[in-house]
Structure 1
């Protein structure tokens, strides 16, 4: 019984330590490289804060082509993950500290896809999986994943995000 209690305590302690890590610590632990924030392609801003809600403009990767035609679903997944890194960079620029993010609220993932491709959710999982890896439970979100006929400059995916910030 004593060994069981010690094991439970150690498991809880490890869980608490993992939960206590900041997003920046998780990024470093995962060996991720966050890119520089690029300038908007047209007459808009990368984010807009209203109260404690932060709305991000759509972001996309440096991966081009249609998933299901030029790109495999796995390449689409990686493109969505790369887009996630860009979104983290924008979130960092907008907040100054990723720990200010209370929760991800809503994500819209658009996949530049072949007409008969239907695996859009699996592609956008590249983004969603990364947010949970970095932000834990705060990274889980409501989401739409849709296919589109074309995206700007033929990028593979475009993702919009809404997050709630701590007061």
Structure 2
């Protein structure tokens, strides 16, 4: 089952949604009515989402080119998790998705996308800076094979 193409996408979406569920439950049971604590919990949740995506991008970029993991894995996985977070997540904390108005709804979508994109970029940039990404490793292997070949001797 883990070799199926959809498994990393679904695992990423479920993992990101689980972070949201835990944050909502902590807010609901530990900080009921405390706006400052709810704001801190939300910031921690978005930071964890960014951190998870940074680690995911760092690890995946070692073995596959970006076009193979950004489009299917991140777009579908993060998109699915975001939809679950904004549409099903409020029911976990006993609210409705549009209870606070459309501006709060779209602000949450924008924050989610910003932290997801930021985390992904940080993870990928760290991989590139360390020379561990797919392209850097391919170029290094190419350079080593070119150096390993003996020089052609030109006779005159």
Q: TM-score, normalised by structure 2?
A: 0.38
By percentage of residues, which structure has more helix?
Answer: 2
Q: TM-score, normalised by structure 1?
A: 0.36
Larger radius of gyration: 2
By percentage of residues, which structure has more strand?
Answer: 1
